[in-house]
């Protein structure tokens, strides 16, 4: 079973061995007659990548139904796909979205944090750290095309992008709601939010575990643009064109200047952050809280 931090769902997750990425070539495909069939998809079971080498962009789609929970397998596959695109100089930008409309990502998989041993907790948290460091420091232009609810870890992914477009549907809430589950967002979650919406707004949002509907998310600066659901992808492409018009070297240096101090704070404290997480999540009180939460969800489902 998989239980996410962000959404109050109890959902089954099939855990399989980490998959090797299929079809690593990203060039155009040719038919038997030699005709161009367009760029080849690649990626993995849980992360689909649709490259467009001619445009210099790729669309990365979360594909871990039903709620795109950030399991250890998902995080690993996500980082591998991102690294492949970063290492291919053909690409300058990525649009990050969901292959499951209605949910961008429901956040961290609580079943990775419940009833496991300390070694597993450490491995999982290191994977979460790696995901954020890769995203936050990426030289690529990252546009979040948020086509569903985006709480907790889903919100963190969105905040780590350069631009955020949210579908204007009142059900598509976004925010870091960890306190509602008795969990404390780590300092680098906090720093990312503060850098986006300011200290006072972030303090209130984090303490109350607020999930913002679209209009409020735009008002506080958590997202940059609201559009109808059927315009999220086209708007993301338009935004990408605007960002790609800026000389890449100047933009990358500016991004690094703005973000490096925040990322360096985690890099310097990475081992201590893992230890703090393992110590926190292993507490009897926290495990009991997660157990009670899990039982409530089972009752609702029943």
Which one, of 121, 95, 94, lies nearest residue 108 by Cα? 121
Host H or E run for residue 95: strand 93-98
Contact 67, 106 (CB under 8 A): yes
**What does the alpha-carbon distance between residue 87 and residue 256 come to, in Å, rounded to a whole number?**
18
Buried b (16+ CB within 10 A) or exposed e, 36-59: eeebbbbbbbbbbbbbbeebbbbb
Catalytic residue among 178, 209, 226, 290: 178
Catalytic residue among 153, 154, 175, 209: 153
**What does the alpha-carbon distance between residue 89 and residue 87 come to, in Å, rounded to a whole number?**
6
Cα of 34 vs its chain's centroid, Å: 38
115 flagged as catalytic: no
Catalytic residue among 3, 10, 75, 108: 108
Backbone angles phi, psi at 56, to 5 degrees: 80, 20
Cα of 126 vs its chain's centroid, Å: 15
177 flagged as catalytic: yes
Helix extents (H) in 140-247: 153-159, 187-197, 199-208, 214-220, 232-244
266 flagged as catalytic: no
CA Rg value for the chain: 19
The β-bridge relationship of strands 102-103 and 148-151 is parallel
Q: Is the peptide bond before 66 cis (omega within 30 degrees of 0)?
A: yes
Tokens representing residue 72 in the block: 């250890």
**What does the alpha-carbon distance between residue 161 and residue 95 come to, in Å, rounded to a whole number?**
9
Contact 157, 105 (CB under 8 A): yes
241 flagged as catalytic: no
**What does the alpha-carbon distance between residue 171 and residue 192 come to, in Å, rounded to a whole number?**
24
Active site residues: 108, 153, 177-178
């Amino acid at each position: 079973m998989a239980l996410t931090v962000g959404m109050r769902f109890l959902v089954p997750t099939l855990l399989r061995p980490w998959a090797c990425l299929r079809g690593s070539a990203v060039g155009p495909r040719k038919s038997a007659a030699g005709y161009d069939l367009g760029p080849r998809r690649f990626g993995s079971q849980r992360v689909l990548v649709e490259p467009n080498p001619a445009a210099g962009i790729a669309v990365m789609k979360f594909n871990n139904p039903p709620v795109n929970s950030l399991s250890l397998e998902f995080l690993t596959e996500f980082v591998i796909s991102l690294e492949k695109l970063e290492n291919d100089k053909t690409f300058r930008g990525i649009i990050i979205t969901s292959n499951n409309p209605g949910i961008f990502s429901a956040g961290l998989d609580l079943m990775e944090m419940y009833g496991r041993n300390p070694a597993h907790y450490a491995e999982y948290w290191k994977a979460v750290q790696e995901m954020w460091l890769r995203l936050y420091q990426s030289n690529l232009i990252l546009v979040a095309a948020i086509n569903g609810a985006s709480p907790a870890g889903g919100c963190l992914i969105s905040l780590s992008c350069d631009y955020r477009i949210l579908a204007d549907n009142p059900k598509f809430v976004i925010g870091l709601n960890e306190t509602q589950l008795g969990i404390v967002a780590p300092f680098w979650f906090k720093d990312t939010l503060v850098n986006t919406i300011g200290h006072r707004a972030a303090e209130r949002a984090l303490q109350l575990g607020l999930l913002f509907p679209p209009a409020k998310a735009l008002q506080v600066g958590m997202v940059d643009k609201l559009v109808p659901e059927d315009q999220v992808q086209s708007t993301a492409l338009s935004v990408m064109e605007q960002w790609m018009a800026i000389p890449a070297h100047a933009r990358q240096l500016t991004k690094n200047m703005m973000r490096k101090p925040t990322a360096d704070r985690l890099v310097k404290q990475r081992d201590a952050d893992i230890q703090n997480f393992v110590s926190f999540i292993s507490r009897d009180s926290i495990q009991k809280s997660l157990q009670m939460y899990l039982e409530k969800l089972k009752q609702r489902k029943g």
